[in-house]
Amino acid sequence: MKDIFVTLQNGTVTYSTVHITTDSNLGGQWVTGLPLIGEQSLTLVNYVMFSGPGNISEMYWQQDDMDVQYTSDIVSIYSSTKIDKQLNDQLENMQFLSEEHFAIVQGNNLSNEQGKRILFVKDLSGEGLNNSIFLSQVDSLYDFGDSPSWVKEVVAAFLSGSIAGENKASQIVNTLMNEMSDAQLESWLQKLQDLKGSKITSTV
For the residues 15-20, what does the mean pLDDT come to? Answer: 93
Kindly indicate the confidence band of residue 105, based on its pLDDT and cuts at 50, 70 and 90. very high
Kindly indicate the confidence band of residue 170, based on its pLDDT and cuts at 50, 70 and 90. confident
Would you say residue 191 has pLDDT above 70?
yes
What is the per-residue pLDDT for 117?
92
Judge whether 22 and 46 are in contact, CB under 8 Å.
yes
Residues 97 and 99: their CA atoms lie apart, in Å, by 7
What is the per-residue pLDDT for 9?
72
Q: Is 118 helix (H, G, I), strand (E, B) or coil?
A: strand
Those residues with Cβ within 8 angstroms of residue 177's Cβ, 6 or more apart along the chain or in another chain: 185
- Does residue 7 or residue 200 have the better pLDDT? 200
Residues 144 and 138: their CA atoms lie apart, in Å, by 9
Strands annotated E in the chain: 15-23, 29-31, 36-41, 45-53, 60-62, 67-71, 75-79, 102-106, 118-121
Percentage of residues in the chain having pLDDT higher than 90: 31
Q: What is the pLDDT of residues 31-77, one digit of tens each?
A: 999 999 999 988 899 999 999 998 888 899 988 888 999 999 999 99
DSSP class per residue in 38-61: EEEE-SSEEEEEEEEES---B-EE
For the residues 82-99, what does the mean pLDDT come to? Answer: 89
